[in-house]
Amino acid sequence: MNQLNALAGGLFILTVFGIVGLRQVIGCLRLFVMQSVLLAVSALILGIETGSIHLFAVAGLTIGTKALLIPWLLYRLLSHEIHARREIRQVLSIPTSLLIAAGLTIFAYFTVRPLLDINSSAFIRVNLPIGMGGIVVGAFAITMRREALPQLLGILTMENGAFMAGISIAPNLPLIAELAAAFDVLIIALVTGLLTRRIHRRVGTTRVGDMASLKEE
């Protein structure tokens, strides 16, 4: 069980790297779906092991919102953006950003190291550093990418990372908090999606990285 959880964690952090390093938007979105499924798998395993019913709810909520509802929503709102064949523009080249992301993961591991000394159950050892890595690398993805949708995926990745760490530290979090978080993410995706759609209509592009100066009309 522990190994399966670690495997889900390892693949999870790999998909996080994919969010930083992939060129096609549609690929990023698929990776995000995979990432959410892996998070759900991890929650399921933890739920079985700790016997906490809340974690099953987390797994169900993750599948429902992040693996189904949000991608569907983004597909509907931004299909032209997703199916655009052009490549995502980045601030740094992809190998460089991948290397920085790898460095950030190791940094995340060392930041949570003191916490691991306090409570070192096998699941916390895996989930906490990986979740932390997800948060940091997700934030890095937001700064790296210059377009709206990949930036949104960066935020959602951070959120997934926080959940990954959260389910191991607090397996008995009240259901209402989880519901609130899941609903929150949904609203974030909806609002950002609508905003991006508006931006695309007004400016004709979603390269928000280029919109540095204000314009008077």
Partner 1 sequence: MGAKILFNIVQVLVVMLCSPLVKGVLDRFKERVQSKKGPSIFQPYRDIWKLFHKDEVVSDESSWIFRFTPYVVFVAPIFVTLLIPVLTDYPLFFAFMGDMLAGGSILALAGFFATLAAIDTGNPYGPMGASRTRMVGFLAEPVFMIVFFTVSFVAGSTIPYIVQQAWITPLANFFEPSHVLVMLAFLMLIIAENGRIPVDNPSGHFELAMIDESKALEYSGRGAALMKWGGCMKFFVLLCIFLNVLVTPWGLADGPSIGGLLLAIPLILLKMLVFLVVLVAIESSLAKLRLFRIPEFMGAAFVTSVVAVVVQLIEM
Interface residues with partner 1 (CB under 8 A)?
3-4, 6-7, 9-11, 13-14, 17, 21, 94-95, 98-99, 101-102, 105-106, 109, 125-126, 129-130, 133
Minimum distance from residue 79 beta carbon to partner 1 (Å) = 24
Minimum distance from residue 62 beta carbon to partner 1 (Å) = 20
Residue 20's H or E segment, with its range, is: helix 2-21
Nearest residue (CB) to partner 1, 2 versus 205: 2
Tokens of 77: 């709102």
Residue 210: which of 89, 87, 81, 85 has the closest Cα? 89
Nearest residue (CB) to partner 1, 57 versus 121: 121
Residue 19: which of 92, 98, 99 has the closest Cα? 98
Nearest residue (CB) to partner 1, 14 versus 170: 14
Tokens of 48: 């079985």
Minimum distance from residue 122 beta carbon to partner 1 (Å) = 8
Q: 12 with 133: CB under 8 angstroms? A: no
